[in-house]
Amino acid sequence: MQEQLREAAEQARTAIAACQTNNDILNAKARYLGKKSLVNSLYGKLKDIPPEDKPAFGQAINELRAGIEKLLAERELELKDRLQEEQDAAQAQDLSLPGNFRPRGSLHPLTIIRRRIEDIFMGLGFEIAEGPDIDDEFHNFDALNTPPDHPSRNLADTFYLENGCLLRTQTSTVQVRVMEKYPPPIHIISPGRCYRNDKPDPSHSPVFHQLEALVVDKGVSMADLKDTLQNFAQIMFGEDVRSRIRPHFFPFTEPSAEMDISCVSCQGKGCRVCKNSGWLELGGAGMVDPAVFKMLGIDPEIYSGYALGFGVERIAMLKYNIPDMRILFENDVRMLRQFSGEVL
C-alpha cells in the first residue's frame, strides 16, 4: 500500500513538472485529482482496510492529495510568471534613449568654495560671524592699529561713501566687532565681501571675497596658527599639501606672517603657476597685536590669539584652475553650468 502511494506521488510530480501550458495543468488536475484519478480510487479502497489501519491510511491519502494540489498550484504560478516575462521581453523599448530629468542649476564657484571653507572651519570648532560691508574708519583702520597716515587709507586704495563711511578693505572689521561684543574664548571665521580701489585685471577685482579666522583664548600660540593653516590646507587641497609661514608685516599682528602652501599645480617641483618657487602665497596671518587687544579691553597678559585670512577668489582660482579673476564676475552660464556637477 505504502509503495502504491509513493509511486502515485512520483508519477504526479513528473507529469506536473512537464506541464507547459494552462491546458496541461487542467488535464493534470483532472487526471490526478479528478473522479477517475488514482487518489479517488484509493479513497474507495478505504473500506477494505482493517479498522485499526484506517486512520493512518486515510491520512496518507489526504497528504498525497494535498501534495499534488500544491505542486499544481506552484506550477501554475511558474507558467504565469514565464508568460509575463515573455510578454515583457516582447515589449522592450530602446533603453539607450536619454532619461528625463530637470538638471540641477549651480551655485557660483565662489559660493561653493566659501561653503567648503566654512564647513572646514566649522568642523574645526569655529563659529561664523558676519558684519557690515559699509563700515567706519575706526573698525577698518584705527582699531586694527593702522597709523592715521597709512597709505591704505588713501582714496586710491579705499572706497569712501558720501557720508564719510567706507567700504571695508578686509573682514578684520568683523573681528573687531566680535571682540567688542563678546568675551574670550573666541573661535570665529568671518567670510564676506571686501572692496579695494583696484582696476579689474586677472588677479584683482574692486569687489572680492575674503575669509578671516580669529582665535582668542588663554595659551594660544603660533603653533596653533600653524596647526589651523596645515589642517585647512590639507582638507582643502589634499593630504599631500604642505604649508609654511614667512615673516611679514601687518599693523594688527605681531609677529606677522605670510602663509604659503606647496604648489597645487606642480606639487612643489616648480612650474609656471608658482613661478618656479614651488610655493603659492595663500594669505596673511599673525598673532593679534597687544595694542589691538588693549583697544578692545582684552588683557593681553591673560589672552593671546591669532588671525589668518585669505581671498576666496584666490582659493577658487587655485582649486579650479581659473586663470583670470574677472571670469568669476562675468556670470556666463557656460562657466556657471560647469559647476552644476559639484557635490557640496
Binding site for Zn ion (CB under 5 A): 263, 265-266, 271, 273-274
Q: Provide the minimum distance between the beta carbon of 235 and another protein in the complex, in angstroms, as a whole number.
A: 19
Q: Provide the minimum distance between the beta carbon of 37 and another protein in the complex, in angstroms, as a whole number.
A: 48
| DSSP-derived 3-state class of residue 232 | helix
- Listed in sequence order, the residues at least 6 apart from 56 whose beta carbon sits closer than 8 Å to its beta carbon are none
Residues of this chain that bind another protein (CB under 8 A): 97-98, 100, 102-108, 110-111, 115, 127-130, 132-134, 155-156, 159-163, 165, 167, 178, 182-183, 185-188, 193, 195, 197, 199, 206-207, 217, 328-334, 336-337
108 binds, among another protein, Zn ion, none (CB under 5 to 8 A by kind): another protein
263 vs 298 by CB, closer to Zn ion: 263
- Give yes or no for a contact between 145 and 289, defined as CB atoms under 8 angstroms apart: yes
Q: Provide the minimum distance between the beta carbon of 261 and Zn ion in the complex, in angstroms, as a whole number.
A: 11
Q: Provide the minimum distance between the beta carbon of 142 and another protein in the complex, in angstroms, as a whole number.
A: 19
43 vs 160 by CB, closer to another protein: 160
Closest CA to 297 of 214, 206, 183: 183
- Give yes or no for a contact between 127 and 187, defined as CB atoms under 8 angstroms apart: yes
Q: Which three cell numbers stand for residue 52?
A: 485499526
115 binds, among Zn ion, another protein, none (CB under 5 to 8 A by kind): another protein
65 vs 196 by CB, closer to another protein: 196
Q: Provide the minimum distance between the beta carbon of 5 and another protein in the complex, in angstroms, as a whole number.
A: 41
Q: Provide the minimum distance between the beta carbon of 161 and another protein in the complex, in angstroms, as a whole number.
A: 5
Q: Provide the minimum distance between the beta carbon of 280 and Zn ion in the complex, in angstroms, as a whole number.
A: 7
279 vs 339 by CB, closer to another protein: 339
Q: What is the DSSP code (8-state) at residue 149?
A: T
- Listed in sequence order, the residues at least 6 apart from 222 whose beta carbon sits closer than 8 Å to its beta carbon are 245, 255, 287, 306
48 vs 162 by CB, closer to another protein: 162
For residue 333, which phi and psi values (nearest 5 degrees)? -65, -20
C-alpha of 240 from chain center: 21
5 binds, among another protein, Zn ion, none (CB under 5 to 8 A by kind): none
| DSSP-derived 3-state class of residue 164 | coil
65 vs 153 by CB, closer to another protein: 153
- Listed in sequence order, the residues at least 6 apart from 174 whose beta carbon sits closer than 8 Å to its beta carbon are 129, 130, 131, 188, 190, 192, 212
217 binds, among another protein, Zn ion, none (CB under 5 to 8 A by kind): another protein
- Listed in sequence order, the residues at least 6 apart from 332 whose beta carbon sits closer than 8 Å to its beta carbon are none
204 binds, among another protein, Zn ion, none (CB under 5 to 8 A by kind): none
266 binds, among Zn ion, another protein, none (CB under 5 to 8 A by kind): Zn ion
263 binds, among another protein, Zn ion, none (CB under 5 to 8 A by kind): Zn ion
Q: Provide the minimum distance between the beta carbon of 328 and Zn ion in the complex, in angstroms, as a whole number.
A: 21
107 binds, among Zn ion, another protein, none (CB under 5 to 8 A by kind): another protein
Q: Which three cell numbers stand for residue 179?
A: 571682540
45 vs 246 by CB, closer to Zn ion: 246
- Other beta carbons less than 10 A from residue 224's beta carbon: 16
**Angle, helix 38-45 to helix 54-90, in steps of 10 degrees:** 170
For residue 312, which phi and psi values (nearest 5 degrees)? -70, -40
Question: Would strands 186-195 and 127-128 be described as parallel, antiparallel, or unpaired?
Answer: parallel
